[in-house]
């Protein structure tokens, strides 16, 4: 049986489908706290009911009300939702994707597939929440960065060694390879310092954008371009990819 804390709202205008969903979910141990047959009523009750997940028919009343409801949830709540769809819904799937649902259930649904889709949606949601919390906890401001670099010194000198033959002189904010200074731009230098301060740990895109650009309109592509330029200036390939997450230098 599933944890009864999984509180689910069903938004489905076909009464038979809604009842079958309710029966299937209840049998699998989920707590179906309410069912609505239109988007407006669902909107009016989300805050009061406080669900953990919402199941939405894409084509409520043969319109795009389901998509509009999903966008409303995305804009105003931190609640995962999954779509109910049919094979005739292909023409609006592209619109549905823009709301970034946590999954799709094809009608007529299979109870086992329904269960699997909900479990994956809840897992993905929990993972996203944890990742956001990790990013929040790992924010590195300039003062903390200096402390991290200071702790990485191998001696009383303001020198932090990394890679094979590299060192960062934290007193003058310059990077050297085998004693020769590497000429870096301000942003390249900031990103490299961020990597060195967290040797062995991934610097994710959000951290890089916040620290290097200070939230001034940078994107993940901005980070990728910066890394490409930086790699071209370094004598060896010390910056490693953490696919889809960010970059790191091995400790």
148-203 residue pLDDT tens: 888 888 788 899 999 999 999 988 989 999 999 999 999 999 999 999 998 988 88
pLDDT band at 2 (very low <50, low <70, confident <90, very high): very low
Over residues 208-216, the mean pLDDT reads 81
Per-residue pLDDT of 62-114, as tens digits, reads 667 899 999 999 989 999 999 998 866 667 788 888 888 999 998 889 999 99
Q: What is the mean pLDDT of the chain?
A: 87
Per the listing, tokens 């309710």 go with 22
Per the listing, tokens 């609640």 go with 79
Domain residue extents for the chain: 7-137, 142-249
Closest CA to 65 of 144, 12, 28, 4: 12
CATH class of 142-249: mainly alpha
Residue, of 54 and 139, whose pLDDT is higher: 54
pTM: 0.57
Per the listing, tokens 């903390």 go with 144
CATH number of this structure's domain 7-137, picked from the four choices 1.10.730.10, 3.40.50.2300, 3.30.479.30, 3.10.50.40: 3.40.50.2300
User: CA–CA separation, 162 vs 166, rounded Å?
Assistant: 5
Tokens of 231: 């790699």
Closest CA to 173 of 142, 141, 210: 142
């Amino acid at each position: 049986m599933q944890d009864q804390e999984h509180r689910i709202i069903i938004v489905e205008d076909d009464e038979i489908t809604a009842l079958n969903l309710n029966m299937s979910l209840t049998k699998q141990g989920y707590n179906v706290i309410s069912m609505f047959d239109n988007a407006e009523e669902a909107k009016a009750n989300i805050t009061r009911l406080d669900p953990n997940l919402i199941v939405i028919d894409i084509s409520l009343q043969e319109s795009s009300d389901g998509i509009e409801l999903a966008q409303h949830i995305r804009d105003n709540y931190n609640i995962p939702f999954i779509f109910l769809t049919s094979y005739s819904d292909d023409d609006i799937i592209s619109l549905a994707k823009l709301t970034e649902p946590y999954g799709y259930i094809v009608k007529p649904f299979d109870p086992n597939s329904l269960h699997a889709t909900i479990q994956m949606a809840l897992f993905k949601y929990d993972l996203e929440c944890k990742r956001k919390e990790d990013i929040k906890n790992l924010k590195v401001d300039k003062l903390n960065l200096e402390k991290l670099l200071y702790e990485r010194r191998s001696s009383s000198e303001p020198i932090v060694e990394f890679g094979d033959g590299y060192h960062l002189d934290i007193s003058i904010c310059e990077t050297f390879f085998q004693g020769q200074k590497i000429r870096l731009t301000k942003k390249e230098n900031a990103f490299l310092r961020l990597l060195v301060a967290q040797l062995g740990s991934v610097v994710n895109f959000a951290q890089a954008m916040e620290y290097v650009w200070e939230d001034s309109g940078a994107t993940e592509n901005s980070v990728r371009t910066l890394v490409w330029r930086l790699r071209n200036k370094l004598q060896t390939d010390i910056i490693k990819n953490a696919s889809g997450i960010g970059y790191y230098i091995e400790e």
